[in-house]
A and B are shown apart, each in its own frame.
Chain A
Amino acid sequence: METGAAVNTGHTTVGLGRKKEKMYVTTIKRLLKNRLAVVGLIIIAIQVLMAIFAPWLATHDPVKQNLAAAELPAFSEGHWLGTDNYGRDIWSRIVYGARISLVVGIVSVSLGLIGGVALGLLAGYYKKLDGLIMRIVDLLFAFPGILLAMLIIAILGTGLINVAIAISIWSIPTCARIVRGSVLSVKKREYILAMKALGASNARIIIKHILPNCLAPIIVFATMRMATAILSTASLSYLGLGAQPPTPEWGAMIAAGQAFMWTSPHMTIVPGIAIMLVVFAFNVVGDGLRDALDPNMDINQ
Chain B
Amino acid sequence: MVGVVVRRFFQLILLLIGISFLVFTSMYIAPGDPAAIIAGPTASQADIDAIREDLGLNDPFLVQYGRYMNGLLHGDLGYSYQTKQPVWDAIATRFPNTLKLAIASIIVAVIIGVVAGIISAIRQNSWFDVSSTIFALAGISIPNFWLGTVLILIFAVNLQLLPVGGLDAPFYTAEGLKQLVLPAITLGTGSAAMIARMSRSSMLEVIRADFIRTARAKGVRERTVIWVHALRNAMIPVITVIGLNFGFLLGGTIITEQVFAINGVGRLMVQAIAARDFPMVQGSVLLVATLFVLVNLIVDIIYTFIDPRISYD
Task: Say whether chain A's binding surface is mostly helix, strand, loop, or mixed.
Answer: helix
Instruction: Say yes or no: is B61 at the interface (Cβ < 8 Å to chain A).
Output: no
The answer, yes or no, to whether A229 is at the interface (CB within 8 Å) is no
Contacts of A153 in B (CB 8 A): 273
Min CB–CB distance A40 → chain B (angstroms): 10
Q: Interface segment, A76-84, A115-123, A174-182, A258-266?
A: A258-266
The DSSP consensus for interface residues of chain B is: helix
| Contacting residue for B27 out of A154, A255, A271, A276, CB 8 A | A154
Q: Closest CB of chain B to A200's CB: distance in Å?
A: 38
Asked if B274 contacts A261 (CB within 8 A), the reply is no
Contact A239 to B270, CB < 8 A, known contacts A147-B285, A154-B281, A155-B26: yes
Contact A144 B292 (CB under 8 A): yes
Against A, the Cβ 8 Å flags (1 = close, 0 = not) of B115-157 are 0000000000000000000100110111101110110110001
Collect the chain A residues with CB atoms within 8 Å of residue B157's CB: 261-262, 265
User: With a CB–CB cut-off of 8 A, which chain B residues contact A147?
Assistant: 250-251, 254, 285, 288-289, 292
Give the number of chain A interface residues (Cβ < 8 Å): 45
A139 close to B22 (CB less than 8 A): yes
Q: Which residue, of A143, A152, A258, A280, has the highest number of chain B Cβ atoms within 10 A?
A: A143
- Distance in angstroms between the alpha carbons of A139 and B292 in the assembled complex: 12
Chain A residues near B293: list those with CB within 8 A: 142
A-B contacts counted at CB < 8 A amount to 140
Number of interface residues of B (CB under 8 A): 49
| Smallest CB-CB A-B distances: 9 pairs | A145-B251, A144-B247, A272-B146, A280-B141, A279-B141, A146-B251, A155-B30, A144-B250, A144-B292
User: Which residues from chain B sit less than 8 Å from chain A, CB to CB?
Assistant: 15, 18-19, 22-23, 26-27, 29-31, 134, 137-138, 140-143, 145-147, 149-150, 152-153, 157, 246-252, 254-255, 258-259, 269-270, 272-274, 276, 278, 281, 285, 288-289, 292-293
Q: Which residues of A contact B (CB under 8 A)?
A: 36, 138-139, 142-147, 150-158, 227, 231, 234-235, 238-241, 251, 254-255, 257-258, 261-262, 265, 268-269, 271-272, 275-276, 279-280, 283-284, 287
